[in-house]
Amino acid sequence: MLKQVVFALVLLATLGVFTYSVIRYISFFRLTRTGFPVRNFGKRFLNMFRVAIGQTRIFRFPFVGLLHAIVFWGFCIILFGSLELVIDGLSGSEKSLRFLGPIYNVIMAGGDVFALLIAISILIFLSRRLFLHVKRFEGIEMKKVSHIDANIALSLILLLMISLIGMNTFYVLRQKLISPFDGQLPAGITHCPAESILGVYPISYFFAGLAGHTFTPLMASVLYEVFWWSHILLIFLFANILPYSKHFHVFMSVPNVFLSRLEPLGKLTNMDNITHEVRLMLYPDTKSRAVTADAPAERFGVKDAEDVCWKTYLDSLACTECGRCTSVCPANITGKKLSPRKVMMDLRARMKEKGPLMAKNGRDYSDMKSLVRDYISEEELWACTTCNACARECPVNINHPSLIIDMRRYLVMEEASAPGQLRIMFNYIENNGAPWQFSQGDRLLWAKDLEIKQTFEGIGHD
């Protein structure tokens, strides 16, 4: 009974902290713009199973991709065991989901095997970060705290797997040691059932065999409880650290892939406010003009965190900081300042800085800083070639160019700020109706003496 009470209190505290984090992020999402329609659920589910569940993009790096996929798939199976631990802790029972029979055996065996595979994978990941100094893990945006954050998260996952294997091992060992007593428990063991081993644990059974008779039934029971509590407390700790870590993508990557855009990567979305104004000019409507005349002017493009679409903010939260986007960016490769990873990290950091202040003082609150210039320079924005290599490489379907384009739109449409070559082109478009320095009527003069046969499509003659 005492165990149930303590567990219930710990679970309540965990849920309280997690709820606070959820409410905090919801308040940030409410500050962003709406306007991202969610349709075609069939395609979205297929995309989610292919990219998020199947981890297809991660396999572009075969070895590391396989390790990462093992970690992801293993967590999906181990979550079942975590759910059982919560039920056991509240009910005071043990192996409460055993009624599933063969399915239970398969899931327990899978979790046991994956725990070892995940532990090995995490050790490799930590070794790569600590000793190999992989280039894409570096960059001006990757501060010391970013590396510490990654190492802490990986270490917690490793401890989770060690505690899980330890829990399973001493459960198997306890059951094997108790069975000779035919239900008569040794002194000091108060709640250990003398029954067969419930579930299948191939790895832990092997470790239990290695232990032999080194442990007494009482020691095995005590160590089982120690590892049981260690594992569940680490789960609760990990769940509440994630929302403030780069590993928040553990929660956000699957929904982000499900909600990712389905249009071709190179397609640029129209700005709704501009489209509305154009329609008013083409189809004058007095009533509509009267309504929009009194409305506050809407900002063109993105200047600060609150100007982004909610989906773009979700992208920033789903960013794994893996650096695959930056490693394939032609601008970054050729020495320019642009780093697509930095753009997403900056948006996340800016909302973390300004979001609480806006939630407290209103969306119009200003701290005299902005995402553009204070976090991301104009040089970075105009270095982007919109080739979409970053979006194609991202394992969680983040669309970096859409945010970069929106910040460019702000610079051009709100501040008339652009590189000199672009300003010249804009002047030509304004004066000549074309991006060249001569009028539309003179556009074909260059071909006057080339004897090129002209075809007028849709007219029916040459």
Half-sphere exposure of 71 (CA within 13 A, CB side): 19
Alpha-carbon torsion 96, 100, 102, 104, what sign? negative
Alpha-carbon torsion 413, 414, 418, 420, what sign? positive
Rg (CA), the chain: 29
Amino acid at 452: I
CB contact at 8 A, 112 and 313: no
Quote the pTM value. 0.84
d(CA 106, CA 217): 27
Tokens 């701290």 belong to which residue?
367
Q: Would you say how long the chain is, in residues? A: 462
- Which residue from 155, 162, 150, 175 is spatially nearest to 230, judged by alpha carbons? 162
CATH number belonging to the domain at 272-442, selected among 1.10.1660, 3.40.50, 1.25.40, 1.10.1060 = 1.10.1060
Question: CA geometry: angle at 59 spanning 58 and 63, to 5°?
Answer: 110
pLDDT at 12: 95
Q: What integer best gives the mean pLDDT of the chain?
A: 86
- Which residue from 84, 80, 166 is spatially nearest to 119, judged by alpha carbons? 166
**pLDDT level of residue 454 (50, 70, 90 thresholds):** low
Summarised one tens digit per residue, pLDDT across range 308-367 is 999 999 999 999 999 999 999 999 999 999 999 999 999 999 999 999 999 999 888 989
Summarised one tens digit per residue, pLDDT across range 87-137 is 989 888 888 888 888 999 999 999 999 999 999 999 999 999 888 888 888
Summarised one tens digit per residue, pLDDT across range 16-66 is 999 999 999 999 999 999 878 888 999 999 999 999 999 988 888 889 999
pLDDT at 36: 81
Looking at the chain, the domain(s) classified CATH 1.10.1060 span 272-442
